[in-house]
Amino acid sequence: MALIIPPYRVSQLSALLTPFLNRVGDQLSQNFRNILLGAPPDSRYVQLIYTSGLRQLGEGPDAAKITSTRFLAVLHGHAVAADITERDGSTRISSISSGCSIVDAIDAIDSIRRLPEVQKADYELHTFSVPGVQTDAYWLKSPTGNNHRFVPYLTLNKNLQRGTAYSWGDFVKALDEAAKKNIEFYERDMDSAGPYYQPPQKI
């Protein structure tokens, strides 16, 4: 049993990196290139990013949309992530990032490999992002059924424990309170931006 995380081929990324980094053209860009293209195969990963709106959480994980592909690499302790998107028929790098959050994302992969759940079954590794509640989790996607697990690695939600594997039901339940509050806030904010002003009612 194992965590299925295929390493990316350098050739997949090299052609896209050149035009993106040439627009920046500084030493930091060269460092990013060296890490993304020079990391050994066991230190570079590719995964799909699934993004869910707050209202879609009630529809299950399959309602989330694939929004990008993420290439992660670490070399000599320095970690970099490159997000690839497709738009208007062309594939391009939309962003490159580094820093503590990317180090945490890669460290979380090593921790996930040791989870009891991963010792018992095969899982594909993807990212499940819920921007409306500032939460990113690794989606341990079961290729044979619905026994998926979600492991938060970036979240401000006090109901979620980083590094813990949750079932879909428990994951959504932990997000429920914050999701409802934010939906109410967004709806109230949209109402206030409407064409007509409505004074608050007196109670």
Q: What is the domain count for the chain?
A: 1
- The parent domain of residue 53 ranges over 3-192
Q: Name the one residue in this structure whose structure tokens are 């934010």.
A: 182
Residue 197 forms part of a structural domain? no
Distance CA 197, CA 51 (A): 34
Q: What is the pLDDT of residues 177-188, one digit of tens each?
A: 888 888 888 777
Q: What pLDDT is attached to residue 21?
A: 80
Does 201 fall in a domain?
no
Residue 117, classified by CB atoms within 10 Å of its CB into exposed (0-12), middle (13-18) or buried (19+), is middle
CA 147 and chain centroid, separation: 20
**Which pLDDT does position 198 carry in this prediction?**
39
Query: Does a structural domain hold residue 132?
Result: yes
Q: Which residues does the chain have with pLDDT short of 70? A: 24-26, 189-203
In a domain, 94, yes or no: yes
Residue 191 has a pLDDT of 52
Whether 129 is in a domain gets the answer yes
Asked if residue 89 is part of any domain, the answer here is yes
Whether residue 143 is contained in a domain is answered as: yes
Residue 150 domain-assigned? yes
Distance between CA atoms of residues 42 and 27, nearest Å: 26
Position 202 scores a pLDDT of: 37
DSSP-H helix ranges across the chain:
10-22, 27-38, 100-113, 116-120, 168-192
